[in-house]
Chain A
């Protein structure tokens, strides 16, 4: 029997099996409560792991050296960036700088921008926000802030582009 004929024959059986398969699938719908418990366990393990995360060495305003998990510093920068309309922070790099080292911070940042947002004024706003927040939240002045826009996103209102691509269904295979 050729592959095609075999597939055709078994395709028929699949059609008759559909009811059984659907019943089987229905038997395994996750309970929202169980699901919530699982989610909490996962996040707890993730938070425990995050305690071991790498640190950045900085100097306080009075020159006391301290370490801070790099993720925490990034979070301060990300919060400043996300607050700017149409901009989403992606990758954040914070490098201790200055003399002595750690008295200032160099920030590198990649962002995604909403389509239609003008880059230069937005980037300027982001730069101001980061400088302000690093000082207010961290207590460390920003020395240098480099911003690279690497992607564009479209908001839901103007999402005709996405609707078009879904209708095309470019990757659906028609071999069932």
Chain B
């Protein structure tokens, strides 16, 4: 058996033991945290570096971590299962193909949420261009167990259904921003990092969304 004749070793430890934390990424959003614990679960930088070199097993681990969260986010934003699944599928497949474009592997979570957010915005914009196709509050009855639509009479509409209608009146940008903040629980700075916009823009969108929701839900809560 031939052995390697030569080779060299180099030890580069930026920041010592703290180097395992995402380097140079600010702010640190909740979905970047979960993967850095434990010897058996690889840290996100290792997974991303390996995946972008063609390691499907590492990419599978990334999918396992993010697919469900992304799906829930897309469901909440779009209110439609098929649209949400399409967004998540397109986002993750595109992520596989363009991992090289991600400059900072530790920012994978932010990056993937940005791509999903952009796709959700596109879906919402396409819908508003075709009002007849806008999702029906009755879609809300299509729960994960496939139960039939919630029974609905013109007078006795629930606050939930009304709320869903109000959400549909928000602009695409407002809606995505508001869901990220209010439902995904991201701070203003985290939302800004995800969407690649200023914090000021985030504040503006959320403020306008809140006003619209407050006015729309007047008398319902």
Contact = CB atoms under 8 A, between A and B. Distances in A.
Query: Is any CB of A less than 8 Å from a CB of B in the complex?
Result: yes
A119 B54 contact: no
Interface string B15-41: 011111100001111000100111100
Contacts of B20: 112, 115, 151-154
Contact of A156 (B37, B42, B85): B37
B125 interface: no
B71 A25 contact: no
Given A74-B54, A75-B55, A151-B45, A175 B188 contact: yes
Contacts of B7: 107, 127, 144-147
A135 B1 contact: yes
A62 interface: no
A171 B38 contact: no
Contacts of B160: 20, 23-24, 27
A171 B27 CA distance: 6
Given A38-B71, A131-B4, A90 B45 contact: yes
Interface of B is mostly: helix
Given A30-B72, A75-B55, A132-B1, A152 B93 contact: no
Nearest to B28: A171
Interface residues of B, number: 81
B133 interface: no
**In which size bucket is the chain A interface?**
35 or more
A144 to B, nearest CB: 5
A39 B33 CA distance: 22
A110 B13 CA distance: 12
Contacts of A115: 17, 20
A176 B191 CA distance: 13
B157 to A, nearest CB: 13
Interface of A: 3, 6-7, 9-10, 13-14, 16-17, 19-21, 23-25, 27-31, 34-35, 38-39, 41-43, 45-47, 49-50, 53, 69-71, 74-75, 78, 88-92, 107, 110, 112, 114-115, 119-120, 123, 127-128, 130-132, 135-136, 141-156, 159, 161-162, 165-166, 170-173, 175-176
Given A45-B93, A152-B13, 6 more contacts: A9-B214, A24-B183, A30-B144, A151-B13, A152-B20, A153-B20
Interface of B: 1-14, 16-21, 26-29, 33, 36-39, 42-43, 45-46, 49-50, 53-56, 59-60, 63-64, 67-68, 71-72, 75-76, 79, 81, 85, 88-89, 92-93, 96-97, 140, 143-145, 159-160, 163-164, 182-183, 187-190, 203, 207, 210-211, 213-214, 217, 220-221
